Amino acid sequence: MTPEEIRKIVLAFPGAEDGVSYGQPSFKVNNKFFTRLRAEDQSMVLLEVSQDERELLMEAEPATFHFTAHYKDYPIVLARIATLHPGSLHNFLARRWRKIAPKKVVKAFDLGEPDRPVP
């Protein structure tokens, strides 16, 4: 995927907007960190991924999933955008979005309100 394709997927989630994290461009939902593209290795920072799941992902798809020492103790995996499947990105983001989006927005999404964007 390209950064533009990534941006389109991220911003399709209700409440997602541009932000800044550690001085780098990122995306936020409800003023909370949602995700960002790491320019240094063209990887997405994906949260809500347990260390066990991270290990499984890296074993199953080592060309896509990895992490650095900085993220060792956090529920985070890094995913190279060149090999990351759009559906996988969407699923990881949906997990994070459900945790940080306002509860009324999540409830409206779950009820299928017609005016809501589809993440």
Instruction: Give the pLDDT band of residue 113 (cuts 50, 70, 90).
Output: low
Instruction: Give the pLDDT band of residue 66 (cuts 50, 70, 90).
Output: very high
Structure-block tokens of residue 47: 């949260």
Q: Is the pLDDT of residue 109 over 90?
A: no
pLDDT at 114: 47
Average pLDDT of every residue of the chain: 92
Domains of the chain and any CATH numbers: 3-111 (3.90.1150.30)
Q: Is the pLDDT of residue 99 over 90?
A: yes
Q: Is the pLDDT of residue 117 over 70?
A: no
Annotate 15-30 with b (16+ C-beta within 10 A) or e (fewer): bbeebeeeeeebbbbb
Structure-block tokens of residue 77: 């995996």
Over pLDDT 70: what percentage of the chain?
94
Residues 6 or more apart whose CB falls under 8 angstroms from that of 91 comprise none
- Average pLDDT for residues 15-34, to the nearest whole number? 92
Contact 41, 70 (CB under 8 A): no
Note the pTM of the prediction, 2 decimals. Answer: 0.89
